[in-house]
Structure 1
């Protein structure tokens, strides 16, 4: 051992203090370093398989549904405005404010942020005070001589004003890994919030177009009923004048009655869509209504981008990736249990038998000292815990990749649906024109006595069916376009996900108020 002069030893000790403080405050962070694993075994293709640009037959058809050009900007923010429907825009704005599911996910996000503060508090010492006062009287029969006392025991008072401080330095990064875990979990909650918001917005748009489709069907049936009434009036006049027969009148009556019954049934679906919209915008269904307005539109050109952009566009993919990051941090937390724990504690204060001397200098007391603890045997508990979190992380990796595969499947599904439905709409429009001509020809043949009225009924039924089918196809294409936008991530992208620093900010007063 080298003996240093006393003054030199003091200087050496002082010089070592910054190093010791850095060790205690910073320590080291153990556990695996997190990197985002590959999304899929193969790189995403240059374009979507089901994009209309991949099919020459649709490229040459000027009436075919198209996607926006690759140079066009991706959807941002209020994606529903692409449909140019002011009424839908108003409903979506109400949804963003009053939807209770979105509010629930928002409060879950607020709760997740508070866990970061709770975790960070473990980096700092804890201090506690516990003032006490006691007055006691000893027994008169507890003298050292063993004789029975003849007078009362001694009365004493004790007043204490202690301060206890304890600190466990984060030497191995357990607390810092916990903070990271909670930050990633808060980001996960933020992504879940955006995914729920997108889901609710898409549901509202789908219900809106479904409701307008019901209004269009009502219009079709109203026109059909009006035509059927004219046919009934004609057959009745023919029968009254002795030119026609009774069976034609009955057939005309039956056709009209069936159309009227079917038209009444349309009110069921429309009412349900209207009630669903009321629920989404946070309004009681009993006091909400939407005026009838028939609407059949063709899906607008949607900017779909390239497949590689999908990973940055979907909030559910971001949530899945943050789940992996959180699980990785958990491994570090569990690994820290293999290392010793250092606890620094100190206590001090004032103690006196009389209150007036409590704060006198001789009344002070103190104690200070570190302690180190290390688990020497746990029957494999720590190793099993680490292995548990490793398996959880591996499962999250598989879930992340499955989410991405599902995202690509959904985009391809809805691209195909919108594209193929457009082709079917074009064919159905031709079929409807033929059915209308069929009705006109059969009515002429019936009026001239060539064909029986049953042939007119067949033609009218064919026309009604074709018109219904065409309206349904338009609605299916519009809802498929909404689903396509949702599958592409709506107006969201990964740059909108709050950073760890942003989710770590202290909540505002408004964010911590109890809902009235």
Structure 2
């Protein structure tokens, strides 16, 4: 009966238990929506391509190439180039490969037996005094060939928890890669829209400057004929100069945006192949998939990365706990030993050894207990960081949803303002020619119109940019088309 009991206990001794917490991802916040008030079925509409209403589709999935919803082929081409050439993506891929190799090393180094072969040849002096035979003292050669095996029993699961921690690091690096993919694509879309907006603002400003220059020419003619005073001419010159002064900052922003796009695509800032983007090249996505909150925590790379960090911290608690318990090591060796090479592999030269060792920590100055307490504190820190990451993600989505609703209302109001300002300017010019209003009144109307033109371009671009921000906030759809380096780990 004792022999049967020993055999039955052998698998338990070899595998043992696993001390420390078994990890479970924390539950998401108990909510079914992101905003306090429910979203409208669709946003407000306004004239023009950028004024189409957008519909919020709760629970619908996000396509992997979400930027293709803008129907801008140059944008699609640039993003494909960026994904292939971006140093940030290459760096994240390398970090993922490194973590996988570290996992392999952790698994092989702690859960599998260690087998080593050894071949030694030494020359030494034999001292017979050690054995009470001083007359036996001579130099000799000693040859040894052996194979040794050692294995540390993972009775408490410390090694398995270490592998669990290494696997969590692989998960973390995979989500970092997906996060880099999402950030790169979203940044390119945002920069392309910003370039288009800046071009629209520059074009509008240049058009205004042209009209003001034409108006200045007319005023000079009227001044020469004595119809107006010098003050009106100087005022118009000032207005024209002020309008032209707004161009260099806009052009600087445009240049910086172009440089950013080139670098994001993995090219130098002076890339001659970089496409030019204008607002009319984009179509505003009319259907906006909105993931439910419970799905968001499984989609956003930053949440998943925080979850992997928390999992790793949980596993490290198990490692620190296992270090408090006895460690058992089994070892065996088999080989030959002789005084000459010719006798090394003879049967009578065989030597072997088999043994076991137990190490029980007794007093380490409180080190092991302190390490366990530190691991628990690190887990609590990671848990708090995870919960904060989830809350910020929900806020990010809520802000993006509200921004799209407000953007649509703002664009409609801004379109009305631009139309009113345009009509008012046309009427004011006619009245001024007929002498019905003063030049000062015309000037005020011109200024109002100029501001509405710039504001309209910004309002149009805001809808495109905030749409991209929503896709980024929801995770970007990477799970529908994982990168080659992440596919094997899904």
Fold shared per TM-score above 0.5: yes
Measured in 1, the distance between the counterparts of 2:380 and 2:128 equals 72
Alignment partner of 1:300 out of 264, 285, 292 = 285
Name the residue aligned to 2:246.
262
Task: Say whether residues 1:459 and 2:445 are aligned partners.
Answer: yes
Alignment partner of 2:434 out of 448, 453, 459 = 448
**CA 1:105–1:141 in structure 2 vs 1: closer, same or farther (change >3 Å)?**
closer
1:339·1:374 contact (CA, 8 Å) conserved in 2? yes
Task: Say whether residues 1:416 and 2:402 are aligned partners.
Answer: yes
1:239·1:249 contact (CA, 8 Å) conserved in 2? yes
Residue aligned with 1:489, SS: coil
Q: Deviations over 1:330-382 (max 9, x none)?
A: 12111212321111112231111111111111111111111112112334433
Measured in 1, the distance between the counterparts of 2:479 and 2:275 equals 35
Name the residue aligned to 2:121.
133
Name the residue aligned to 1:198.
182
Q: How does 1:357-376 map to 2 (within 5 A)?
A: 357-376=343-362
Alignment partner of 1:381 out of 360, 364, 367 = 367
Measured in 2, the distance between the counterparts of 1:246 and 1:277 equals 48
TM-score by structure 2 length?
0.89
**CA 1:146–1:502 in structure 2 vs 1: closer, same or farther (change >3 Å)?**
closer
Task: Say whether residues 1:167 and 2:151 are aligned partners.
Answer: yes
Alignment partner of 2:213 out of 229, 233, 237 = 229
TM-score by structure 1 length?
0.85
Q: How does 1:147-186 map to 2 (within 5 A)?
A: 154-186=138-170
Name the residue aligned to 2:463.
477
Measured in 2, the distance between the counterparts of 1:221 and 1:169 equals 76
Displacement of 1:51: 5.3
Alignment partner of 1:247 out of 231, 235, 249 = 231
Q: Deviations over 1:383-425 (max 9, x none)?
A: 3322222222222222222111111111111111111121111
1:274·1:289 contact (CA, 8 Å) conserved in 2? no
1:446·1:452 contact (CA, 8 Å) conserved in 2? yes
Task: Say whether residues 1:36 and 2:25 are aligned partners.
Answer: yes
Structure 1's unaligned 5+ residue stretches are 1-8, 505-516
2:169·2:309 contact (CA, 8 Å) conserved in 1? yes
Measured in 2, the distance between the counterparts of 1:195 and 1:114 equals 21
What RMSD in Å do the two structures reach over aligned CA positions?
A: 3.3
Task: Say whether residues 1:428 and 2:417 are aligned partners.
Answer: no
2:70·2:283 contact (CA, 8 Å) conserved in 1? no
Name the residue aligned to 2:323.
337
Structure 2's unaligned 5+ residue stretches are none
Measured in 1, the distance between the counterparts of 2:457 and 2:100 equals 48
2:397·2:470 contact (CA, 8 Å) conserved in 1? yes
Larger Rg: 1
Q: How many pairs are equivalent? A: 484
Displacement of 1:465: 0.8
Name the residue aligned to 2:11.
22
Measured in 2, the distance between the counterparts of 1:282 and 1:497 equals 18
Poorly superposed stretches of 4+, deviation over 6 Å: 59-64, 138-142, 144-147, 494-501
Measured in 2, the distance between the counterparts of 1:327 and 1:283 equals 39
Residue aligned with 1:31, SS: coil
Q: Deviations over 1:7-53 (max 9, x none)?
A: xx9xx85x66753542343222222222223323xx11356446532
Q: Deviations over 1:291-343 (max 9, x none)?
A: 54531668433111333322222111112222222222112111212321111
2:143·2:338 contact (CA, 8 Å) conserved in 1? yes
2:171·2:305 contact (CA, 8 Å) conserved in 1? yes
**CA 1:136–1:374 in structure 2 vs 1: closer, same or farther (change >3 Å)?**
closer
Task: Say whether residues 1:212 and 2:196 are aligned partners.
Answer: yes
2:279·2:461 contact (CA, 8 Å) conserved in 1? no
Measured in 1, the distance between the counterparts of 2:309 and 2:468 equals 27
Task: Say whether residues 1:403 and 2:389 are aligned partners.
Answer: yes
